[in-house]
Structure 1
Amino acid sequence: MTTSLNFFKQYHSTVIKALGEDAKKVNAKVGSIFADNWAE
């Protein structure tokens, strides 16, 4: 695994833990924004 990919994986995991119960809602929103940006 590359360093940048490993960093992203650890960062994402940390953010999800920090958000707690709000993680599901925020993760869905992030996924939606990511998909919109990917489509452009």
Structure 2
Amino acid sequence: MSDKPDISEVTNFDRTKLKKTETDEKNTLPTKEVIEQEKSG
């Protein structure tokens, strides 16, 4: 067996078959102000 993984499927992948999706960030990180508020509260 070879040390390198078989990536032939990846290199032959057809990107045009993928559907375009819009990403919506649901788990946003708190701002510095929010962190300070929680520390002092």
TM-score calculated relative to the size of structure 2: 0.26
Higher helix share: 1
Q: Which has the higher contact order (CA 8 A, sep 6+)?
A: 1
Structure with max Cα Rg = 2
TM-score calculated relative to the size of structure 1: 0.27
